[in-house]
């Protein structure tokens, strides 16, 4: 079989499959399950890079494959998946179409640019990256679920526009030339805790726990 198979990409694939399942839940009308899947994909993405770097025996081909797989999966999880969520909300057609297009396009540009710059960076240094350019695409896994959790504070007719407005804003931040510090180990723990709390909040809201 083609491809490279080792534990360094397992978590990336789990996040991808979670998002694909989440997309099916949007089609089934189960929004809460879809947002749970988005949060789970984000939690997986928090640690997949750290797990990959822990594998010291990776070949150069495996490293490049890991970078490409990570970005391709991120495009589905944090570009296409949010676009499907936003598009299914009933608003004026051009608005939901534009927000869906923008977040996918922004994610493609952001991830493609990251791959180019990361490959160049790795040729010149072995140090771990300390900052990103542009808002990381994984940020949608916390921003959008939090907006969904707060939907009861907005008029039902207004909420879809607010959600899609944030999608447009996020898509612009993806490609804006801003510096975003990469989370430290302590920062990863904080983000993981927030993700778990959001996940548990969804379970409680849906009377699963």
Q: Is the pLDDT of residue 75 over 90?
A: yes
**What pLDDT does 51 receive?**
77
- Say if CB 6 and CB 12 are below 8 A apart: no
User: Which pLDDT belongs to residue 208?
Assistant: 58
Quick check: 77 pLDDT over 60?
yes
What pTM did the predictor assign?
A: 0.87
- 7-205: CATH number: 1.20.120
Mean pLDDT within 78-101:
92
The confidence band for 61, taking pLDDT boundaries of 50, 70 and 90, is confident
DSSP H helix total and E strand total for the chain: 8, 2
pLDDT at residue 126 above 70?
no
Q: 131 in helix, strand or coil?
A: strand
Q: What is the pLDDT of residues 152-205, one digit of tens each?
A: 899 988 999 999 999 999 999 999 988 887 777 776 677 778 777 777 776 666
Q: What is the mean pLDDT of residues 114-130?
A: 74
Residue 119 has a pLDDT of 75
| pLDDT averaged over every residue in the chain | 86
Cβ-contact 72, 115 below 8 angstroms: no
181 strand-pairing partners? 131
Percentage of the residues of the chain whose pLDDT score is greater than 90: 47
- Please report, for the chain, the start and end positions of each structural domain, with discontinuous segments joined by +: 7-205
Residue bearing the bigger pLDDT, 9 or 173: 173
- The better pLDDT of the pair 79, 194 is held by 79
User: d(Cα 30, Cα 88) in Å, to the nearest integer?
Assistant: 11
């Amino acid at each position: 079989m083609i491809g490279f198979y080792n534990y360094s990409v397992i978590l990336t694939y789990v996040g991808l499959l979670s998002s694909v399942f989440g997309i099916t839940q949007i089609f089934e009308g189960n929004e809460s399950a879809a947002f749970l899947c988005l949060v789970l994909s984000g939690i997986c993405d928090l640690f997949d890079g750290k797990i990959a770097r822990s594998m010291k025996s990776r070949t150069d081909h495996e490293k490049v494959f890991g970078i490409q797989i990570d970005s391709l999966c991120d495009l589905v999880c944090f570009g296409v998946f949010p676009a499907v969520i936003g598009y299914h909300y009933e608003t004026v057609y051009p608005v939901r179409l534009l927000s869906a297009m923008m977040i996918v396009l922004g994610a493609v540009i952001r991830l493609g640019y990251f791959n180019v710059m990361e490959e160049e960076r790795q040729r010149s240094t072995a140090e771990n990256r300390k900052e990103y350019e542009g808002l990381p695409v994984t940020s949608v896994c916390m921003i959008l679920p939090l907006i969904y959790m707060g939907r009861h504070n907005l008029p039902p007719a207004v909420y879809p526009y607010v959600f899609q407005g944030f999608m447009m804003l996020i898509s612009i931040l993806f490609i804006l030339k801003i510096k975003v510090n990469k989370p430290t180990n302590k920062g990863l723990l904080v983000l993981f805790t927030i993700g778990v709390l959001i996940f548990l909040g969804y379970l409680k809201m849906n009377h699963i726990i």
